[in-house]
Structure 1
Amino acid sequence: MKFTIIGAGNSGQSMAAHLTLLGYNISLYDIQESLIEGINEKGGIEVEGFIQGFAPVKATTNLENAMENTDVIMITTTGSAHRTVARAIAPYLQDGQVIMLCPGYWGALECRSIFRDMGMNKKVYVAETESFIYTCHSTAPGHVQIRKIKESLEFSALPSSDSAIVKDRLSEVYPQLKIAGSVLVTTLNNCNPILHVPIALLNAGRIESEGEFAFFLEGATPSVVNVVEELEQERLVMGRHLGIKLSPALDLLRRFYRVEATTLYKSIQKNPVYQCEKAPVTLNHRYIYEDIPYGLHPMVELGEKLGIHMRCCNLLIDMASLLVKEDLRERAVRLSDLGLADMNPDEIVAYLEE
């Protein structure tokens, strides 16, 4: 199989290095010329940590070349880039290709909507994961640290009837992928917005002060986790209204990292992967500009469509907008972008499945 990886940040470089070391044909694409030049100057990517070695990765800013004769397209960009990527790759898609968004951030729905609007009629399989496969960090172009590969990770295709085909294609390289009920399960099980946003906002003063601190270990105090759990409840109520089975964050951390704990606070504190996770040094960070417009805001729209009072979710979006002096709802993905605005809950579930 040939893999085309779209996005050469922390995630894309880590995936490209790992798959290359496993012997797969990889093409790594990004629009940032300096980033791609840095990788190519080194001749590939040095990886350390959970996986170690030097991977002679092919990196390019030419999307047409990257997409040539590919079997699987892995999109590892932030959620804010999904619509741009979908439009860019549409002319090069071929029948039978798999497109996997890692993680989804409503991306499978957004891609399908864009492909439909563009008249893209190739038979492709669009899927997304609930979280990224690797816990990783890039220290420089061509150098990554992989702290962990998640033990078990759910994904779904859109429609979900395609999930078995996607699993069969990827089972050799990612045997930990398990089929979820639908892309709403994977999207709503993405616990990044649930964890990142409250911790970042309630530590805003500390983030903007001198000195570093451990984002999860020190930032997720018991009172901060109280807010995380309130946000979590709104997410789980949405699942019950839709008749889909969502995993509490405590179960997700247990599944991803094999962390055994009786409370979410203890789970965060015991997670070895979180021990060395430093906090950002600014609020101009994906914890705000990805996790709110592409995480919490579409949750609010869907929750209100279901008649749920999304008090905590709305409060955090409003607080973040005040802190950064910007209306974060303006740049957010909406149900209309996902093709769901005119559907009732039963129609949404049927659309996701069929």
Structure 2
Amino acid sequence: MAEKADVLILGAGSLGKAYAAKTASLGYQVNLYNRSLERTSDLEEDSELIIAFDPNIEGKLYPKTDKRINFKPVKERERLKMLKSEGLKGGVVELNKISSGKYIEEAFEGDPDIIMVTTTARGHKHMARKIVPYLRDDQTVLLNPGRMLGALEFRNEVERHYKNGKVPKVIIGEADTSLFACRVDEIHDPKTVKIHGVKNRINFATIPSKDAEKIIGPVKKIFRQFNCYLDDGRVMNVLHTSLGNVGGVFHVPIMILNAKDISDGKVLKFYVEGLNPTLSGLLEEVDDERIELANKLRIHVEPAIMWLEREYGSEGATLHEAFKNTDAYANLFAPTSINVRQLTEEVPCSLVPMVELAKKAGTEYATTGAFIQIAHVLIRRGRKRDIFKKARTMKSLGLEKLNIKGIKKYLITGEYPTDERFLDLEI
């Protein structure tokens, strides 16, 4: 019989490897799965990862409240010496199980209680379909992050599979952001995940929202930064986590404003060199539209500049200044192509559903809409790819026939309202 698994990480990109390595380093049994073989082929033989981090963040990564760090005696001494020469600390951790591709059943060996989904948001529906035969009552699935209403999309996909049968009582939720700022060199060093920053707080919510209180204990035991409560003690709902996600605000404008340099392969520090004080104003305009929508929905979320201060202690009068003062972003470089998740994920899974919700709420979205259209043209003309094709829309999420009150009620209670008061009678 397989050893009991505490956590299953779905997605072996940089974030998935960071979650897996950090969790395993605390002595928990961790399974790691990836849809394709290339991200796990170098790991499956010995089931090991190397976690590396700047000594300045060690206190946040491994606070005194954490369990004892459980690094292995290692064969990788030369690699660790190299990391030390780069000014990094770290160690080798062993995972319980690593699998990929069609071997999804192996990922569930040991019957994990918590499932962390770290794939891109565009992969959430596919992953839901893939794991649905193996789900059971009392499991927890958390999307890291959900982007905009990812938990609803995932939940819909699970229920669609069981439309003629009993749906397992799985708790499905989403985080507002990812815990780590991290990178993996998949070509030259796929076993090493470098963690550049750790956020102070990760807000998460579930559908229905009350379910978050059922899982906050076991989730927080392993991932201490996770939180499901507002400052007044009420439980968050997924509109808090969705509108609290600032990925689309940051990534899409910076990608578009630097499209030429990125396409030319210029080495560019994404957050620091990708903006100046003038261009920073465009990001702030997109953020203002996000805040206006949240206010209309009576959902409290922070402006992006306050989010940076809370998560990283960054200070600045503008986003440009705050980015420059964020140590975790100092050495994060821009991608070398525009056909990357900062556009192909953030536009269809963050900005498009936000604008559709803004249309229902009657709030401004002109600047956000302009960035969406430019991103669409860049990707369509460059790669002949329509990023709108699988975008999250009110229709695809099952929200088209509801008004704003109905949407809020549905997301909070998990029960689709049929009373006329909650319907959009103009549809």
Q: State yes or no: 1:254 paired with 2:309.
A: yes
Q: Is the 8 A contact 2:220 2:227 kept in 1?
A: no
Q: Which residue identity lines up with residue 157 of structure 2 in the other structure?
A: I
User: What is residue 163 of structure 1 aligned with on the other side?
Assistant: 212
Cα RMSD of the aligned pairs, angstroms, is 1.5
Q: Is the 8 A contact 1:153 1:255 kept in 2?
A: no
User: What is residue 5 of structure 1 aligned with on the other side?
Assistant: 9
The correspondence for 1:348, drawn from 396, 407, 411, is 407
- Aligned residue for 1:171, secondary structure, equals helix
- Aligned residue for 2:222, secondary structure, equals coil
1:31-180, aligned counterparts within 5 Å?
31-41=35-45, 43-50=47-54, 52-57=90-95, 58-61=97-100, 62-68=103-109, 69-105=111-147, 106-119=149-162, 121-140=167-186, 141-180=190-229
Identity across matched positions, percent: 32
Write the distance in 1 (CA, Å) between the matches of 2:277 and 2:115. Answer: 40
1:237-248, aligned counterparts within 5 Å?
237-248=292-303
> How far has the Cα of 1:42 moved from its partner?
5.1
- Aligned residue for 1:33, secondary structure, equals coil
- Aligned residue for 1:85, secondary structure, equals helix
Q: Which residue identity lines up with residue 53 of structure 2 in the other structure?
A: G
Write the distance in 1 (CA, Å) between the matches of 2:135 and 2:349. Answer: 25
Segment drifting more, 205-214 vs 247-256: 205-214
Deviations along 1:235-283, whole A, 9 cap, x unmatched?
Answer: 1111111111111101111121121333322111110111111111110
Q: State yes or no: 1:333 paired with 2:333.
A: no
Q: Is the 8 A contact 1:101 1:128 kept in 2?
A: yes
Q: State yes or no: 1:301 paired with 2:356.
A: yes
Task: Give ranges in structure 1 of 5+ residues lacking alignment.
Answer: none
- Aligned residue for 1:347, secondary structure, equals helix
The correspondence for 1:25, drawn from 29, 38, 45, is 29
Q: Is the 8 A contact 2:277 2:318 kept in 1?
A: no
Write the distance in 1 (CA, Å) between the matches of 2:394 and 2:212. Answer: 23
Deviations along 1:71-107, whole A, 9 cap, x unmatched?
Answer: 0110000000000011111111111001010001221
TM-score normalised to structure 1 length: 0.96
Segment drifting more, 35-44 vs 185-194: 35-44
Segment drifting more, 210-219 vs 8-17: 210-219
Write the distance in 1 (CA, Å) between the matches of 2:115 and 2:397. Answer: 20
Q: Is the 8 A contact 2:272 2:320 kept in 1?
A: no
Q: Which residue identity lines up with residue 99 of structure 1 in the other structure?
A: V
Q: State yes or no: 1:199 paired with 2:263.
A: no
Write the distance in 1 (CA, Å) between the matches of 2:14 and 2:389. Answer: 27
Task: Give ranges in structure 2 of 5+ residues lacking alignment.
Answer: 55-60, 62-89, 230-235, 414-427
Write the distance in 2 (CA, Å) between the matches of 1:16 and 1:257. Answer: 22
Write the distance in 2 (CA, Å) between the matches of 1:260 and 1:314. Answer: 29
Q: Is the 8 A contact 2:47 2:98 kept in 1?
A: no
Write the distance in 1 (CA, Å) between the matches of 2:329 and 2:39. Answer: 27
Question: Computing the radius of gyration over CA atoms, which structure comes out larger, 1 or 2?
Answer: 2
- Aligned residue for 1:164, secondary structure, equals helix
> How far has the Cα of 1:344 moved from its partner?
1.1
Q: Is the 8 A contact 2:280 2:318 kept in 1?
A: no
User: What is residue 71 of structure 2 aligned with on the other side?
Assistant: none
TM-score normalised to structure 2 length: 0.80
> How far has the Cα of 1:153 moved from its partner?
1.6
Q: Which residue identity lines up with residue 237 of structure 2 in the other structure?
A: S
Q: Which residue identity lines up with residue 341 of structure 1 in the other structure?
A: E
Write the distance in 1 (CA, Å) between the matches of 2:264 and 2:41. Answer: 34
